[in-house]
Structure 1
Amino acid sequence: MPTCEVCGRKTSKLFRVIIEGAELSVCMECSRLGTPVKPKLRRRGVVKTGYVRPTPVPRPLRPSKPKKAVRSIEETVEAYTLVENYGFIVKEARERMGMTLKDLGAKVGEKASVISKVEQGKLKPDNALAKKLEHVLRIRLLIPSSEVEDKGLKTSVKPSGGLTIGDVLRMRLTKPRE
């Protein structure tokens, strides 16, 4: 004899009901606690088989595009040098355009404190920030390193890295001793 899944009584007839989202087999008295489940209609004579996966349709092969030659990073990224008086240039351009620090920061996507530190010369802007400032303020902050060397304004520090031991030795050898 089957038992009720709610109260545990043995009964001759069970009912399928949904109680709090669970489908249970319960006795006549416990069936009032939930909503009855409608019996599913079964088709006779039709045998269900397992799921048959459709056969994939082969796609025609596309000719591959010729791959572009990969350039080295050094060739694609040109080294830039920041101008010496960048803080003064940024401040003058901002004041000329009638912007506050907050306005310029909003246009560039930086905090006003960052813009203030750049203007004071306490913070060197990276290339991305410098390019944004150049665009918004219509000024030049970054000069390609090739232009700096062409004009004879050679810098003692390479733009790609810091001061190397070789640089120190060259400075010592070229500097006359006192």
Structure 2
Amino acid sequence: MLSCELCGKPLRGKGKRVLIAGAVLTVCSECAKFGSPVREPPRISRFTAKPRRLKPIKPVAASRGMMEDLEVVEDYAEKIRAAREALGWTKEILAERVKEKVSVIRRIESGAMVPPIPLARKLESVLKVKLLVPAVQSEFYHPTTSARKFDLTLGDIAEIKFKKKR
């Protein structure tokens, strides 16, 4: 139980906060007349925030990139540079139009970096050039036919070593 900080009597209830001689004290109602009342700002709890409602997860529609395999043409660097120069743009202007860094455009035009499919799509629409072609699977490579007839397991390796020791 709390007591009055001025006279020492037990407090009934919460007590009153007053300013006496430059100090804020919790006092009884009888001693409250010796000071001026202090208004305390309401306490802000860290946990009073309303819980946020989670938005329902929408199913992601399959994009064109998922439907078909695309790859960037081999001479992409020359095509991009020629189209940019034909429009009279600098690398900075092109970077601004496709919302990329100038260093990325510089690396793509030098051939040091192959543009990712989304960036290649942006470049196609801005420069009006064809950069993406459907990926062609080689006639000679088919994952189903060239795959092993069985999977090699740890047990198979142990048997092979065991057979060699005999």
Change (3 A) 1:126 1:97: same
Amino acid at match of 1:103: I
Determine the C-alpha separation between the residues in 2 that align with 1:109 and 1:140.
19
**2:35 maps to which of 32, 37, 54:** 32
Could you tell me how far apart the structure 2 residues matched to 1:134 and 1:96 are? 14
Aligned length: 118
Whether the 8 Å CA contact 1:16–1:23 is kept in 2: the answer is no
The Cα of 1:17 is off from its aligned counterpart by 3.2
CA distance, structure 2, for counterparts of residue 29 and residue 90 of structure 1: 82
Report whether the alignment pairs 1:106 with 2:107.
Answer: no
The residue that corresponds to 2:83 in the other structure is 93
Instruction: Determine whether 1:131 maps to 2:131.
Output: no
Task: Tell whether the 8 Å contact from 1:17 to 1:31 is kept in structure 2 after alignment.
Answer: no
1:8 positional shift: 5.5
**Which amino acid is 1:3 matched to?**
S
2:16 is paired with a residue whose SS is: strand
Deviations 1:79-118 (A, max 9, x none): 1121111000000111111211111111111110110110
Range with greater deviation from structure 2 (98-107 or 128-137): 98-107
Preserved CA contact (<8 Å) 1:18 1:35: yes
Cα–Cα, structure 1 residues 74 and 155, in superposed 2: closer, same or farther, change >3 Å?
farther
TM-score, normalising length from structure 2?
0.53
Residues 75 and 134 (structure 1), Cα distance of their counterparts in 2 relative to 1, 3 Å cut: closer
What residue is the counterpart of 2:162 in the other structure?
Answer: none
Q: Residues of 1 paired with 2:65 and 2:90: CA distance?
A: 38
Contact 2:83 2:127 in 1 (8 A): yes
Q: 1:84 to 1:3 in 2, by over 3 A?
A: closer
The RMSD of aligned alpha carbons is 4.5
1:10 counterpart letter in structure 2: K
Q: Which runs of 5+ in 2 are unaligned?
A: 41-60, 148-166
Tell me the equivalent position of 2:156. none
Residue 82 of structure 2 is aligned to residue 122 of structure 1:
no
Please give the secondary structure, in 2, of the residue aligned with 1:143: strand
Flag the 1:142–1:75 CA change in 2: closer, same or farther, 3 A.
Answer: closer
Q: CA deviation at 1:25?
A: 4.4
The 3-state SS of whatever aligns with 1:113 is helix
